[in-house]
Amino acid sequence: VASRSNMELTADLHIIQENELPPWLLMYAQSDTSLDHLLEWNLFGISQLAQYEEMMRKLYKQQAIDIARKYEKMRVAINREIHRRDASRPPPRRM
């Protein structure tokens, strides 16, 4: 049974909706920083800038969560393998 709390967990760990983020901003966030100086942010208005800045913060948080999740999966996989070889060690918990 996919327990309800697991489903809630997944929902809660996705804090950004794809459509709320302009593709170019995602691109900016993920690209190499060497060309960032070409961007003329001062052409935007303050309210837009504030919005972009907030999205960047959210994206940052999302990525931090993603990293934590990635490591958590690895931890479960390692635990599983350890348990497989040595059943006296505790089985991994389900994710």
Partner 1 sequence: ALNKQPEEVFDIVGKLGEGSYGSVHKAIHRESGHTLAVKKVPVDTDLQEIIKEISIMQQCDSKYVVKYYGSYFKNSDLWIVMEYCGAGSVSDIMQTQSKGCVTFTTSRKIHRDIKAGNILLNTEGHAKLADFGVAGQLTDTMAKKEHRNWNAILDGSRTIEMAEGRPPYSDIHPMRAIFMIPTKPPPSFKKSEEWSPEFNDFIRQCLVKKADERKTASQLVEHKFIAEAPGSEVLQAMIRDAQEIQAASQNALAISASITEATMVDGGTTIIDGQYDATLIHNESYITAQSLKSQMESLRIGGEIPASAMSSSRIAPPPYENAQAAGIAALQGNANAFNNVGTGPNFAVGAEGDADSTFSSASQLNTEAEYENRFQRAMVDGDYEFLRSITLDELIKRKENLDFEMDQELTELQRRYQTKRQPILDVIETKKRQMF
Site for partner 1 in 31-60 (CB under 8 A): 31-50, 52-54, 56-60
Please report how close the Cβ of residue 93 comes to partner 1 at its closest, in angstroms: 7
- Specify the residue, 1 or 37, whose C-beta has the smaller distance to partner 1: 37
75/87 Cα distance (integer angstroms)? 17
Three-state secondary-structure class, residue 21: coil
Q: Does 91 engage in binding with partner 1 (CB under 8 A)?
A: no
Per the structure block, which two tokens stand in for 73?
Answer: 């999966």
Cβ within 8 Å of residue 5, ≥6 positions away: none
Please report how close the Cβ of residue 63 comes to partner 1 at its closest, in angstroms: 4
Please report how close the Cβ of residue 90 comes to partner 1 at its closest, in angstroms: 12
Site for partner 1 in 10-29 (CB under 8 A): 12-18, 21, 24, 26-29
- Burial category of 55 from C-beta neighbours within 10 Å (exposed 0-12, middle 13-18, buried 19 and up): middle
Q: Does 70 engage in binding with partner 1 (CB under 8 A)?
A: yes
Evaluate whether 52 touches 64 at the Cβ level (below 8 Å): no
**Number of residues forming the site for partner 1 (CB under 8 A):** 72
